[in-house]
Structure 1
Amino acid sequence: MHATLTEHARCVFGDEYRPSPPCDRDHDEAYFIEALTFADADAILAMLRELCPHLADGYLPVRIRNLAYRLVLLQRPDDPELMREAAVSLHLHGPDWDDIAAALQERADALDAAKARPDRRRGR
């Protein structure tokens, strides 16, 4: 059993920056996707940041990166910085998702604008 999602991903996909740890298990991508699906946001972000520190690098397949960002945004729907990070990743990996990336950027901007506006109901 892998101790972390990052370790599991490293075994399944490899790591551009570190060797894969010794492991005596067969690696099935479907099992990894199941682990990713039920991972918490911190574990997903740790995996993304360790295996793809510059967004455009690493051996994680684009479909896994997209799924990871989608899952973490579902857990943190009001995090504008995370939305921008996901948008940049989508832009870097092809024009097919440019409309989604633009929508994420717009939502992040709207969240920032809402935070900057004073709340008149509470005298702020």
Structure 2
Amino acid sequence: MHSTLTEHARCLYGDEYRPTPECDGRHEEFYFTEKLTFADADTILAMLRELCPQYVDGLLPVWVRNLSYRLLLLQRPDDPDLMREAASSLEFHGPDWDRIAAELRQRADALDPAS
């Protein structure tokens, strides 16, 4: 069984930096999505930092990254650094989200104009 969200994601999607561990956990995406949906911000950030440390790398599907940042921003709505990080991730993964990335950067700048 998976003890962390990161471990669950690694088993389900793989890891560019480490071998996928053998386990007897449930590997259906909906179990992972349930864990992600109710995870706290620190847990989600730990998964992103470990599995996608450079924004453009890692094996997490783009929809998992997008959902992760959306959930993070719902939990930390006034965190300008997190908004900028989410915007960068959106920009790296296609022009479909450029408008949303720009809005996040504007919100971040309004909260923290010095950065």
* TM bracket (short chain): over 0.9
Structure 2 partner of 1:37: 37
Q: What amino acid does structure 2 have at the position aligned with 1:43?
A: T
Task: State the distance in 2 between where 1:59 and 1:107 align.
Answer: 29
Structure 2, unmatched stretches of 5+, are none
Note the alpha carbon deviations across 1:4-51, whole angstroms, 9 max, x for none: 100000000000000112201340011100100000000000000100
Structure 1, unmatched stretches of 5+, are 117-124
Q: What amino acid does structure 1 have at the position aligned with 2:44?
A: I
Residue 70 of structure 1 pairs with residue 52 of structure 2: no
TM-score (norm 2): 0.96
TM-score (norm 1): 0.89
Task: State the distance in 2 between where 1:111 and 1:47 align.
Answer: 26
Structure 2 partner of 1:111: 111
Structure 2 partner of 1:122: none
Structure 2 partner of 1:50: 50
Structure 2 partner of 1:19: 19
Please say which structure displays the higher CA radius of gyration: 1
Runs of 4+ in 1 over 6 A off after TM superposition: none
CA RMSD of aligned residues (A): 1.0
